[in-house]
Amino acid sequence: MNNRSTSHDPLNGERTDLIIIGAGIIGLAHAFEAQRNGYSVRIIERDMRPNGASIRNFGHCCITAQDGLYLDTAYRSREGWLSAAKAVGFWAPEAGAVVVARSATELAVLEQLSEQRGADSVQLLTAREVRSRLSPEADPAICGGAFLPADLRVDPRTAAPDIADWLQNQRGVQIHWGTTVKDIRTGTVDTSRGEFHADKVLVCVGHDLDDLFPEVAARYQVQRCALQMAMAPAPTGYALDSAVLTGTSMTRYDGFTTMPGADAVRQEIFGHSPELIDMGANVMFTRRPDGTLLLGDSHVYGQTIGPFQDEWITTRLVSEIGKILGTRLNVTQRWQGIYASSPQTSLVVEDLDSTTTAISVTSGIGMTLSFGIAAETIGQL
């Protein structure tokens, strides 16, 4: 598609170069890349503001712990996030991530990753160095860790809304909030507020892919994954912007799970805390710029997600993080997040007809990959 628009102010009903369905981070990253490449863009979003997975997560761009092709996409995404943060002006410190090891088995995985990636990408830390970042009261079981300098942080409550605000003030971009897409036929998008037309349509609806394209969702066995999350004020004196990962994280991210020692970590955690493995825990936390901590998480999978959250799961996650920090955390908010998941792939990119492409990240790494995927898609137009 080479016919970039010369008229940069699309009006209601006017044809645009692109229609993007969904104003989560995947849709917004695509809109950002498209706008800066001179395309006119119409974003159509069912809600009145970003309200899906993209505002409910940790705001951790988990670059280093990706593997294979996704590692390249993650590094490309990192550049995109930094460009967007500069243009839009949102908080995106290059704060990295700290991985806490509380056993020799966990430390072995970090040593293996450091050997594979190099000591600059995975910087091994002593127990004292980890404790100095967390707290003097931090868990006495901490025996070391690693610092992953390439990882990025954003505030999930504000990053996507800030990008949307900025985009709707740019020439050639229009966002239609409160507008549900019902059908898409080669360049014609039928919505609850009428029809729109474009040369290219990108469907970025996350886990709701099965609403619009059930056969594609079924082919990739796309399900919903629900996570329990909580927020608490950070302990006095805690000022770390880095994401903090733990042994359970080593059972979930491909960068860790492909290490020879990863199975031993899973078995060890199952031995002393089987409930953490059973709930699919990734015990991790991040600090927002307002000083609150985002705490999580657990994973449960299904086509339809029930509304009832088991209190013991959140209590267990929060107590584990309290133990790591050596303090009691007082929860002020709890919520459920849902993202798309597929046992076959972490990313579905599917051409649906000559003008329509569906793009759903089917793993808990959509923030990490968003701008990398967008650069790839828009570069190929």
- Nearest distance, CB of residue 347 and ligand FAD, angstroms: 10
Among 1, 80, 13, which Cα is nearest to 39's?
Answer: 1
Which of 34, 217, 227, 300: binder of ligand FAD (CB under 6 A)? 227
Residue whose tokens read 């712990």: 65
Stretch that binds ligand FAD, among 3-11, 49-57, 247-255, 323-331 (CB under 6 A): 49-57
Cβ-based nearer residue to ligand FAD, 113 or 212:
212
Cβ-based nearer residue to ligand FAD, 361 or 381:
361
Cα dihedral sign, 216-218-221-222:
positive
Cβ-based nearer residue to ligand FAD, 51 or 309:
51
User: 361-380: which residues touch ligand FAD (CB under 6 A)?
Assistant: 361, 364-368
As given in the structure block, the two tokens for residue 98 are: 């700290």
Which of 63, 92, 204, 358: binder of ligand FAD (CB under 6 A)? 204
- Nearest distance, CB of residue 228 and ligand FAD, angstroms: 8
Query: Strand 194-203 relative to strand 356-361: parallel, antiparallel, unpaired?
Result: parallel
- Nearest distance, CB of residue 251 and ligand FAD, angstroms: 16
Distance between CA 173 and CA 323 in Å, rounded? 47
167 interacts with ligand FAD by CB under 6 A = no
CA distances from 376 to 30, 80, 137, 170, 381 (A): 9, 11, 45, 22, 9
Cα 32 to its chain centre, rounded Å, is 17
10 interacts with ligand FAD by CB under 6 A = no
User: Residue 141 carries which DSSP code?
Assistant: T
**Amino acid present at 40:** S
Cβ-based nearer residue to ligand FAD, 331 or 338:
338
- Nearest distance, CB of residue 241 and ligand FAD, angstroms: 14
- Nearest distance, CB of residue 321 and ligand FAD, angstroms: 15
**Amino acid present at 20:** I
Among 363, 352, 20, 26, which Cα is nearest to 213's?
Answer: 352
54 interacts with ligand FAD by CB under 6 A = yes
- Nearest distance, CB of residue 116 and ligand FAD, angstroms: 21
- Nearest distance, CB of residue 208 and ligand FAD, angstroms: 4
26 interacts with ligand FAD by CB under 6 A = yes
- Nearest distance, CB of residue 375 and ligand FAD, angstroms: 16
- Nearest distance, CB of residue 200 and ligand FAD, angstroms: 17
- Nearest distance, CB of residue 203 and ligand FAD, angstroms: 8
158 interacts with ligand FAD by CB under 6 A = no
What DSSP assignment string belongs to 187-249?
TEEEETTEEEEEEEEEE--GGGHHHH-HHHHHHTT-EEEEEEEEEEEPPTT----SEEE-GGG
309 interacts with ligand FAD by CB under 6 A = no
Residue 223's beta-bridge partner residues? Answer: 341
Which of 161, 206, 247, 255: binder of ligand FAD (CB under 6 A)? 206
Cβ-based nearer residue to ligand FAD, 261 or 366:
366
Alpha-helical regions (H) of the chain = 25-36, 53-56, 69-88, 104-117, 127-134, 159-168, 209-212, 214-219, 254-257, 262-272, 274-278, 311-325, 366-379
110 interacts with ligand FAD by CB under 6 A = no
User: 324-353: which residues touch ligand FAD (CB under 6 A)?
Assistant: 337-339
Distance between CA 74 and CA 158 in Å, rounded? 21
Where on the chain is the footprint of ligand FAD (CB under 6 A)?
21-27, 44-47, 50-54, 56-58, 60, 62, 180-181, 204-206, 208, 211-212, 227, 229, 296-297, 337-339, 360-361, 364-368
